[in-house]
Structure 1
């Protein structure tokens, strides 16, 4: 497919409800917004992962993307950025592969160690160094499980391969060593 001469336009959706807005209504409004922005030609929508923050109701971005995928046809859906520290890499790889099959060719996953959110750090016991090390370990394991050789056999792998290989994966970081690590992973 030839590259479009038009700029690609994406939107980051912050999952912050208005004061006193009922949470179910907020989630339905966000789903309707994703449908509307797809209709006007926005190419991508992104959501972040945050925990224990009433101003950011996005504890499960993969679940949000699945919800939006069921209501859209073309728009790219991305996580900017999932927090893999402390997650089971086999389970996370299977969830990513499943989402990729629910919305073939429309999923992009970003990873990060987590920002300066104290409630989140306390709840999960994440210090900056430990979270960075855990993020790399889990992302390495997830990538190994999603890699075509793993999917086709020879080691622990997802049973349901992603619809798109390679799956677009991103890393969010300000740390030079993490950026070098991400570049080494392709």
Structure 2
């Protein structure tokens, strides 16, 4: 089992279609922006924290070690484009923890549990959370070397995270003890 923590990538680049085009990560919940909640949960679990955002970069800078944006040719390609934007900073042997910006209750041991699942077999490329009700593909740890297949997948016109994972060796990590931890807060008009 690795003793190193993974790098962290917080995905905040979405168009915010379910929240009337607002920047989801900056929506306030219980007195803080969603991105702050998630960043505070992830920070102790990772070596560095990067936020992938395509707007309001200056607002996200305070919550991460660095911010990145999608490559111009990948615009509108969804969360996989956000993951690809970090590829230049991830070595083949690194682990990368991925998490969306709108799940403020993510487990404080998310990285450790996903890394343990990933290391259960040497052939695995991705471990993702499963809460016994559904898979949470964007709560995942990826081996750095699997990112080499991502540009070709996106260039083929594909955008599905699950579809990309289907080409890789993956494992679902059991988070059935904390299903509410993955509640996706598309707040709409319910901000505080």
The two structures have a TM-score, normalised by structure 1, of 0.27
Larger helix proportion of the pair: 1
Q: Which has the larger radius of gyration?
A: 1
Q: What TM-score do the two structures reach when normalised by structure 2?
A: 0.27
* Greater fraction strand: 2
